[in-house]
Amino acid sequence: MGVVNVTPDSFSDGGRFFETADAVAHARALIAAGADGLDIGAESTRPGAEPVPVAEELARVVPVIAAIRAENGIPISIDTMKPEVARAAVAAGATMWNDVTAMRWRDDSLTTAAELGCEVVLMHMRGEPRTMQAAPAYEDVVAEVEAFLIARADAAIAAGVAREKIWLDPGIGFGKTGRHSLTLLAHLDRIVALGFPVLLGASRKSFLGKIDRAATSADDRLGGSLAAVLAGARAGVAAVRVHDVRETVQALAVRAAIEAAAT
């Protein structure tokens, strides 16, 4: 799943695809690079990001989704917390609602998801984006993320979302120290074992730069991002959310070829 951030302030590529034409061109490039899906968002979730009003988020994201849908049948996910934005995105051709709040942002999020009938991604986050990195603490991060995701999946099903439409995401870097993110990556098989498709988003995140101190900027974390993708593939995640599609496709193809050569 290739990331399209129609934002001025995303942590790794803010401002590069803020204009509609630049975002559409980037989406096309990700498709050409081998993406099986796109995740299009217009509000940064980085720590300290400023909230985006609904009208502004709609104006940023809907034209991009509509333009891609007019020329390509690729699955499109809308990355938003807001039911109005999800609704408009689905009307424009999105087939999945990716919500970093696991549909907790608004009381009508889950019922809207059920009504839209789209796939939904329920992601774990401790706190909210503006404050989430202020001293996150867990007794047992894997068990707490598991319990949260099970509870959110149960709530979604109770609200009328079809079980087979639900995806789970451990939320790497969302209210987590670097160590928490690494522990989750080490135990991804337990999230996969919950029985829902799992989406993993570790691409270019700051915990990678804590391991390789020489990686001073987000786009200097490709090697680390690929290592996380391979950990996800080994654990059996269903999709990875990445900025660097071409390199990810190549890493996964080589991994699959090695696996095939073993049999």
In the annotation, is 205 catalytic? yes
Catalytic residue status for 82: no
Site string for ligand HH2, 92-121 (x = CB under 6 A): ------x-x--------------------x
Asked whether position 123 contacts ligand HH2 by CB under 6 A, the answer is yes
As measured in angstroms, the least distance from the Cβ of 201 to ligand HH2 is: 2
Q: Which is nearer to ligand HH2, 50 or 107 (CB)?
A: 50
3 near ligand HH2 (CB under 6 A): yes
Number of amino acids touching ligand HH2 (CB under 6 A): 21
List 27, 169, 233, 237, residue binding ligand HH2 (CB under 6 A):
169
Give me the residues paired with residue 38 across strands. Answer: 2, 76
Question: Which is the catalytic residue, given 82, 241, 246, 255?
Answer: 241
* 79: contact with ligand HH2 by CB under 6 A: yes
Does residue 188 touch ligand HH2 according to CB under 6 A? no
Name the residue nearer to ligand HH2 (CB basis): 31 or 100: 100
Q: Which of 65, 141, 172, 251 binds ligand HH2 (CB under 6 A)?
A: 172
The residues binding ligand HH2 (CB under 6 A) are 3, 5, 7, 10-12, 41, 44-46, 79, 98, 100, 121, 123, 169, 171-172, 199, 201, 241
Catalytic annotation, residues = 205, 241
